[in-house]
């Protein structure tokens, strides 16, 4: 209850009864008043009064400078006129002043517009809309949820780029497909998707493909290919890179690996380098997000055995020399049963 607010007698009695009920349950008076939404001093003042009638009077005074209905209508008419309909009061008032016209202050303009429910989007353009987080995608095995994106590869010529298309399985982090081209195209994207589906033997309506809202991702050719292959689409919010973290993380790994030169002389050289990187990443790279096994090992289901073997090695070392394990805890080689994209909760991985 806000301080100074007029409280009707019936509501006062309800509040007093509520506080007394809390006190009977051995709750302190201060806490009881907080639960009832009133101040302790207010309650004490109420119980001392026998009538429970608020003696304050409601002011009926009308300010002498109050705008008339005609003046309010004039303000609305000016704001909705063709000349000022696309301008806010902060722009309208100075323009009128330059013409030697004063109708009301800027704050009065805003107040009148608010009362008339016109203090909203008044332009002819589409008003901004709320963007909600994409639906959570959960992968409990390979070939269930893919993400893909395109990154720039610099050439030797300033302003010219090659474009690396990459598709990754979020469960295993394996790069299941890649291509390098000299431009962004929905046609090239559909070629990549078709190749991946044939290579991984994807069944219709069994795989989700997540991407951002770029033209290659939402182009007609790509949309048609996804429908034909039975791949379920999922899209990020506009300008929110966090909705596609696995592809963004992969691109960071590419751009920061020691072998990355920073520029590529020809398209053929960019393709050869990308092929070498994919070979290293899938088969040799120990990925931190999947307990330091390679993406290919997890994709083929070998990671569970490898992690169990590591735990066995650590347990044997601990048994042989327990003094070196001060807290008695070995490193946790967790096997993650599932991986989530844009999780609804805080945890995106569940360990076995």
pLDDT tens digit string along 91-117?
A: 999 999 999 999 999 999 999 999 998
Q: Which pLDDT band holds residue 2 (cuts at 50, 70, 90)?
A: very low
3-state SS class at 146: strand
Q: Euclidean distance between the first and final Cα of the chain, in Å?
A: 50
**By the 8 A CB rule, do 349 and 140 touch?**
no
Question: Which has more confidence, 130 or 286?
Answer: 286
Cα–Cα dist 278/297, whole Å? 14
pLDDT higher than threshold 90 for residue 3: no
Structure confidence at residue 43 (pLDDT)? 87
> Tens digit of pLDDT for each residue in 40-84?
888 888 888 766 566 666 667 778 888 899 999 999 999 999 999
> Which range (96-110, 213-227, 234-248) has the least confidence?
234-248
> Tens digit of pLDDT for each residue in 263-281?
899 999 999 999 999 999 9
Return the DSSP state at 47: H
pTM over 0.75: no
Helices and strands, number each (H, E), in the chain: 13, 8
333: closest CA among 302, 299, 303? 303
pLDDT higher than threshold 50 for residue 347: no
**By the 8 A CB rule, do 115 and 108 touch?**
no
205: closest CA among 149, 143, 140? 143
Residue whose structure tokens are 């992968």:
139
Cα–Cα dist 139/175, whole Å? 15
Q: Which pLDDT band holds residue 186 (cuts at 50, 70, 90)?
A: very high
Tokens representing residue 112 in the block: 């009148």
Tokens representing residue 253 in the block: 């790994």
Structure confidence at residue 348 (pLDDT)? 46
CA geometry: angle 221, 222, 224, nearest 5 deg: 65
**By the 8 A CB rule, do 251 and 149 touch?**
yes
Mean pLDDT for all residues in the chain: 88
Cα–Cα dist 341/207, whole Å? 13
Q: Which pLDDT band holds residue 1 (cuts at 50, 70, 90)?
A: very low
Structure confidence at residue 52 (pLDDT)? 55
- Residue ranges of alpha helices (H) inside 160-219 are 186-200, 215-218
Task: State the CB neighbour count (10 A cutoff) for residue 266.
Answer: 11
């Amino acid at each position: 209850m806000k301080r100074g607010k007029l409280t009707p007698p019936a509501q006062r009695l309800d509040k007093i009864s509520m506080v007394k009920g809390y006190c009977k349950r051995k709750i302190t008076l201060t806490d009881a008043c907080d639960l009832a939404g009133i101040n302790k001093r207010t309650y004490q003042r109420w119980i001392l009064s026998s009538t429970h009638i608020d003696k304050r009077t409601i002011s009926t005074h009308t300010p002498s400078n109050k705008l008339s209905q005609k003046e309010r209508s004039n303000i609305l008419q000016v704001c909705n006129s063709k000349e000022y309909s696309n301008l806010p009061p902060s722009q309208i008032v100075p323009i009128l002043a330059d013409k030697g016209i004063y109708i009301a202050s800027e704050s009065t303009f805003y107040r009148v517009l608010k009362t008339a429910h016109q203090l909203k989007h008044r332009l002819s353009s589409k008003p901004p809309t709320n963007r909600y987080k994409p639906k959570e995608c959960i992968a409990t095995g390979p070939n269930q949820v893919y993400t893909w994106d395109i990154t720039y590869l610099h050439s030797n010529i300033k302003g010219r780029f090659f474009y690396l298309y990459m598709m990754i399985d979020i469960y295993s982090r394996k790069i299941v497909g890649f291509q390098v081209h000299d431009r962004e195209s929905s046609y090239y994207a559909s070629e990549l998707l078709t190749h991946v589906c044939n290579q991984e033997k994807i069944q219709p309506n069994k795989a989700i493909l997540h991407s951002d809202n770029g033209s290659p991702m939402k182009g007609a050719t790509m949309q048609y290919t996804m429908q034909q292959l039975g791949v379920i689409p999922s899209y990020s919010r506009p300008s929110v890179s966090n909705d596609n973290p696995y592809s963004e993380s992969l691109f960071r790994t590419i751009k920061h690996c020691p072998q990355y030169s920073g520029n590529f002389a020809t398209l053929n050289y960019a393709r050869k380098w990308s092929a070498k990187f994919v070979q290293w990443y899938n088969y040799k790279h120990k990925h931190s997000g999947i307990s330091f096994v390679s993406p290919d090992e997890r994709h083929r289901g070998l990671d569970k055995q490898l992690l169990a073997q590591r735990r066995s090695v650590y347990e044997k070392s601990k048994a042989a020399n327990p003094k070196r394990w001060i807290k008695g805890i070995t490193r946790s080689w967790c096997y993650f049963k599932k991986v989530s994209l844009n999780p609804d909760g805080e945890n995106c991985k569940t360990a076995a």
